[in-house]
Structure 1
Amino acid sequence: MNAMIQQEIADYKQHFLHINHGVMSVYDKYQQYKNFEKTDIDMDLLKRMTKFYFGTDSLLFDEDSYVRLMYVMNNADFDTDKPTSLFFFYDSNFNQTINEEQLYTIIHRLGYNILQGEVHEIMQQLADKNGEQMTLSQFWILFEELGIIQRQ
């Protein structure tokens, strides 16, 4: 991860540390982030997504992972006609898919060292029937496997 991205993530983390310590629900923490950063990510959509996929309103992130994820959401730069800041949450049926290159980019932006071939293997294991696309729910399962997010 280059120094500029590392610095920006450090800045985000510093903002969070001024707001809250420890772990709290993803959308409670996000609401604080939204108020602080004046970002355009839809809070109601975030709630719907967590409830739909996890059956709970209390999906938890640790401080560092949450900051990194928010950074990625706000700096996504993928080919899409949807808003880039949370491109994989905007499908109304929660069936938005991402490809291997996008997943590789996301994992790298989160600061994890992973080879393109490893991403390919992961996606083969989690992919849907065409073996190339990955649904949002599969994406979150992967994030759990990588230890980036955790259920309560």
Structure 2
Amino acid sequence: MKSLFKVAAAAVLLTVAAAPALAADAKPHRVAIQVDQNDPVVMNLALNNAANIIDYYKAKNEDVQVEVVTFGPGLHMLRTDSSPVKDRIKQISDAAFPSSIKFAACDNTKNGMEKHEGHAVSLIPQASEVPSGAVRLIELQGEGWAYLRP
């Protein structure tokens, strides 16, 4: 009986000792979502995908990083004057914790729009500028991020 107890205790210790190693080996969940169309349907689909991904991993007690990268006509998603989804972006951003969601705005596109329209383009507070949306996607994929285009 003592022998059985020692074997069981050793198994518990081995399992507990291995737990950090298993957690350290866990692959991070990261996804880049591309939006390149000025279409509320596409924008909402991207936000639905992001929210569903965050909710899925939240239910599993796991974190996920989501980055929505906008460029070309898709930059309207992040403009204060023309975004049809800015309220949803705020809601999703506020509800994402402990996971994270970022919104990247292509600076090349923003500069082109400003030149074409003749005035500064203002972005929503959740947006951060990146030099190039296309390059940002390349970088994220190079770092092992999954890629999704709704």
The structure with more strand, counted as a fraction of residues: 2
Q: TM-score, normalised by structure 2?
A: 0.22
Looking at CA atoms only, which structure, 1 or 2, has the larger radius of gyration?
2
User: Which structure's relative contact order is higher, taking Cα pairs within 8 Å and 6+ residues apart?
Assistant: 2
Q: TM-score, normalised by structure 1?
A: 0.22
